[in-house]
Structure 1
Amino acid sequence: MCGRYTLFTDFESLLERFDIEYSMEEDLFIPSYNIAPSQQVVSIINDGKKNRLGKLRWGLIPGWAKDEKVSYKMINARSETVEQKPSFCNAFTKRRCLIPMDSFFEWKKHDSSKIPMRIKLKTDEVFAVAGLWESWKSPEGKTIHSCTILTTEANSLVSDIHDRMPVILRPEDEKVWLNTELQEKETLKRLLVPYDASVMEAYAVSSEVNSPKNNHEGLLNSL
């Protein structure tokens, strides 16, 4: 799964990296070292003409849901079955997004405890994870825009830590994923594969990352 990550690259670099033509205000972007489910997270969609940067609540709420609490069970979607699940199949066809991050955390079992590990690209570059988004309206009329992160089987690096990892898209595949006219499921599913382990690295970090209340640069430090 993917349940915690970081995004602290500077705002202008983010706009340039993802060819953003429309964006939320810069002061709404706050670098974070411990992003957790239920938070508003930076996301990228394409409106059919241009890439737009904004925020979605992490934890997808399907349009048919009766209660927003379902989102707590919808932070991840398995890429192998995403087109079959009622919660995700509509968004998979019509509402795909990118979730930018510069690392993610997974917990490695060690005896009776678990050690948090930071996983990133060796270059320290920001990357995009495949996501889905939905808009949901409560019975009271409140609208929530939410998202989920797609996962796949772990590559050879991550498999020593966890059996799943987020679907990191190759830069050349990001435009394909955001293409609102593309609805061919097999074409889309071919993008949902483990990322190249040879360009990634992982290291142990402080157990402070266990609590999302802790959010500071020191969480990136290697033990």
Structure 2
Amino acid sequence: MCGRFALTTTPEDVMDAFGLHELEAFPQRFNIAPTQPILIVGEGDAPQTGSNLPSRRAFLVRWGFMPSWVKDPRDFPLLINARSETAIDKASFRNAMRHRRILIPATGFYEWYRPSKESGEASQAYWIKPRHGGIVAFGGLVETWASADGSEVDTGAILTTVANGAIRSIHDRMPVVIEPQDFSRWLDCKTQEPRKVADLMRPVQDDFFEAVPVSNLVNKVANVGPEIQVAVSSPAKADTKKQPKPPSGQLSLF
């Protein structure tokens, strides 16, 4: 599961990484939480004449996927993640997997190791970032939900997969990472049916991320500064037999 992530790079770096023509300025965000706006990249209009950039555009969606057929969001769970193994066939995500695959720029994500009560160990938060820095692209889905009064909101979810060897001792799930050479195939919903891109929804190589133990400042959505990514000493020992749970108590959606 991915319950928090960060995007602390510049708009120019995002434009270069994702082949965008333009992108409005945005602040560094160190603690992005569910129900908040997130930046996503999807297929867009035709490229400008003479440009070698692909037809992509970036826009904001609410983090918390809402299928179009939901009548009352108060009666539907907040879907911040979608399991890649079942998203192709699951009713909530099936249409988006076929028609609305996206990329979610990030500079890393947070995960929590939750030990068993019997172990006597404390919970430990980790800042998980690309080992060599830079931007990572999470695979995601987007859907536009319309209320009875005609108002609309774009909503999104991060696809997850089984954790790789480096993350498994902290949590059993991790975000799907789409590598740059696969951006076009992932975003091409016209010719690339979901099963044709299923091979992209796999754990990233073990040496891609590094996990940095951090303080519990990240637990509170009100803490949004760089101090939440400062490493701490003596992290809790990971128990590979325990499947931890992410923090609860996130903001309500509507």
- Number of aligned residue pairs: give it: 220
Asked if 2 retains the 8 angstrom alpha-carbon contact of 1:22 and 1:51, the reply is no
State the distance in 2 between where 1:119 and 1:60 align: 23
Secondary structure, aligned partner of 1:157: coil
Mean Cα deviation higher: 146-155 or 104-113: 104-113
Deviation at 1:22, TM superposition (A): 4.2
State the distance in 1 between where 2:66 and 2:192 align: 21
Asked if 2 retains the 8 angstrom alpha-carbon contact of 1:48 and 1:180, the reply is no
Structure 1 letter corresponding to 2:111: E
State the distance in 1 between where 2:77 and 2:103 align: 20
In the superposition, the TM-score normalised over structure 1's length comes to: 0.94
What is the aligned-residue RMSD (CA, Å)?
Answer: 1.4
Report the counterpart of residue 206 of structure 2 in structure 1.
197
User: Residue 143 in 1 paired to residue 137 in 2?
Assistant: no
State the distance in 1 between where 2:77 and 2:225 align: 24
State the distance in 2 between where 1:42 and 1:22 align: 13
Question: Which of 12, 28, 32 is the equivalent residue of 1:31?
Answer: 28
User: Residue 92 in 1 paired to residue 101 in 2?
Assistant: no
Structure 2 letter corresponding to 1:87: S
Mean Cα deviation higher: 93-102 or 113-122: 113-122
Report the counterpart of residue 44 of structure 1 in structure 2.
41
User: Residue 102 in 1 paired to residue 102 in 2?
Assistant: no
Report the counterpart of residue 194 of structure 2 in structure 1.
185
Q: Deviations over 1:93-152 (max 9, x none)?
A: 000110110110000124453210011111111110000001111012110001000000
User: Residue 74 in 1 paired to residue 71 in 2?
Assistant: no
Question: Unaligned regions of 5+ residues in structure 1, if any?
Answer: none
Asked if 1 retains the 8 angstrom alpha-carbon contact of 2:104 and 2:138, the reply is yes
Identity %: 36
Report the counterpart of residue 171 of structure 1 in structure 2.
180
Pick closer, same or farther for the CA change 1:12–1:71 going to 2, 3 Å.
farther
State the distance in 2 between where 1:176 and 1:123 align: 25
Q: Deviations over 1:12-57 (max 9, x none)?
A: 111111101243x32xx12100000000001101126311011010
State the distance in 2 between where 1:113 and 1:65 align: 39
Asked if 1 retains the 8 angstrom alpha-carbon contact of 2:44 and 2:57, the reply is yes
Question: Which of 26, 51, 58 is the equivalent residue of 2:63?
Answer: 58
Higher strand proportion, which one? 1
Question: Unaligned regions of 5+ residues in structure 2, if any?
Answer: 47-54, 233-254
Deviation at 1:182, TM superposition (A): 2.8
Deviation at 1:70, TM superposition (A): 5.9
State the distance in 2 between where 1:194 and 1:45 align: 22
State the distance in 1 between where 2:41 and 2:98 align: 16
In the superposition, the TM-score normalised over structure 2's length comes to: 0.83
In the TM superposition, structure 1's runs of 4+ consecutive aligned residues that sit over 3 Å from their partners are: 69-72, 110-113
State the distance in 2 between where 1:205 and 1:53 align: 31
State the distance in 2 between where 1:62 and 1:48 align: 24
